[in-house]
Amino acid sequence: MMMDNNLRNAMTVDVEDYFQVSAFEKTVSRSDWDTFPCRVENNTHRILDIFSEANVKATFFMLAWVAQRYPSLVKRIVDEGHELASHGLEHIRVTQQTPEEFRIDVSKTKSILEDMSGVEIKGYRAASYSIGAANIWAIDVLAETGHQYSSSIYPIKHDLYGMPEAPRFTFRHENSGLLEIPITTVEIANKKLPCGGGGFFRLFPYAYSKWAIKRINIKEKESALFYFHPWEIDKDQPRFNDAPWRSKFRHYLNLHKTESRLVRLLTDFNWGRMDNIFLDKDDK
């Protein structure tokens, strides 16, 4: 049964294919992307079917690379009442871009997605949560290019990303005033633990995610933010056996469990779009 609380949590999908993840960027050349069998279209349609069955609206952070190849996917996302948001052009981490390169990337992506969908693109999520203390200038660029919010900071310590000193919940950046919506963490003994989806959703038992989100909703009276990728429901995707063992472990762990866990999550909590939950709340 659905939890007895009035808070809606934000359900988000980072629309990228299995060969585009940062974990494989040293194994798969970006110039070879078009040579791999794409599975993102079918996987995203499956996710849309699941959301439809659960009567859930979500936010889809889409790569322009994917959108340009699958315009019907963009159309279905918008037509079915979901929010379309930006995930950049080609999943290039912000840490690998100069301020001008980043400006071109986010401006071009916003324009492509808006032209294709006919809706305003309000939100942006950096590839691999690659905005942190060392490149916080990126937030100013997002504000200057017309974005209304970012969901690009993960307030944990991680070997690939993270800004542990960042607030756990929604905040506005000091210079630009842009709204930042961090990936959700739960605090235990003054330590922030991840509970916002992705690989951690596959690593930890489902009971942990359910407990953490319930705690955030009921005890802290905050909306949680959850994310996952289309490739995470695809246990039959092609494998990169020559990738580093850590990358393979993180990417392939428990793929066969993701869809059933997701279905349970959609039933156990209230869900909605990022803009409807956080922008509307912030305007009140």
Q: What is the domain partition of the chain in residue ranges?
A: 9-283
Asked if 81 and 52 touch (Cβ cutoff 8 Å), the reply is no
Exposed/middle/buried for 253, CB within 10 Å: 0-12, 13-18, 19+? middle
Rounded Cα distance between 122 and 120, Å, is 6
Q: What string of pLDDT tens digits covers the 284 residues of the chain?
A: 344 456 899 999 999 999 999 999 999 999 999 999 999 999 999 999 999 999 999 999 999 999 999 999 999 999 999 999 999 999 999 999 999 999 999 999 999 999 999 999 999 999 999 999 899 999 999 999 999 999 999 887 765 666 777 889 999 998 899 999 999 999 998 889 999 999 999 999 999 999 999 999 999 999 999 999 999 999 999 999 999 999 999 999 999 999 999 999 999 999 999 999 999 776 55
Rounded Cα distance between 172 and 281, Å, is 13
- What's the pLDDT at 165? 77
- What's the pLDDT at 2? 46
pTM exceeds 0.75: yes
Spell out the CATH class of 9-283: alpha beta
Asked if 128 and 160 touch (Cβ cutoff 8 Å), the reply is yes
- What's the pLDDT at 84? 99
Rounded Cα distance between 130 and 79, Å, is 30
Exposed/middle/buried for 193, CB within 10 Å: 0-12, 13-18, 19+? middle
Residue with tokens 């993960």: 154
Structure tokens at 6: 């009035």
* Eight-class DSSP state of 277: I
* Eight-class DSSP state of 182: P
Nearest to 9 by CA among 170, 161, 234: 170
- What's the pLDDT at 1? 38
- What's the pLDDT at 10? 98
